[in-house]
Amino acid sequence: MSAGHVAPKSMYYMVFGALIVGTILTVAAAKVDMGPLNNIVMLAIACTKATLVILFFMHVRWSSRLTWVVAMSGFFWLLILFGIGMTDYMSRGWVPGTLR
């Protein structure tokens, strides 16, 4: 049996550093009032961090195309759910007399 792909430790350290920077950016974005864009910015940062974890720590980057299809379909489904949730959240103030 083949040992498979062996990634250098420096790559894992760089990805870990990027995840730490993403966490710092998320905390900084939470402290700045951007109105309705706050959730969008934080979800974009979270999706970027999730992509890094999927590609490097779960070794999808070096996997077969079928693994890529399965990973991307899960990620696509997550984006659909985020979109449905955001349409509900963004449209709550449209009807007069409803609670926000």
Per-residue pLDDT tens over the stretch 82-96: 889 888 877 877 666
Check if the beta carbon of residue 56 is closer than 8 Å to that of residue 11.
Answer: yes
pTM summary value:
0.72
Lowest-confidence pick of 8-12, 15-19, 27-31, 91-95: 91-95
pLDDT greater than 60 at residue 1: no
Distance CA 68, CA 74 (A): 10
C-beta atoms surrounding 72 within 10 Å: 12
Mean local confidence (pLDDT), 32-45 = 90
Check if the beta carbon of residue 74 is closer than 8 Å to that of residue 24.
Answer: no
Mean local confidence (pLDDT), 41-57 = 92
Structure confidence at residue 47 as a pLDDT band (50, 70, 90): confident
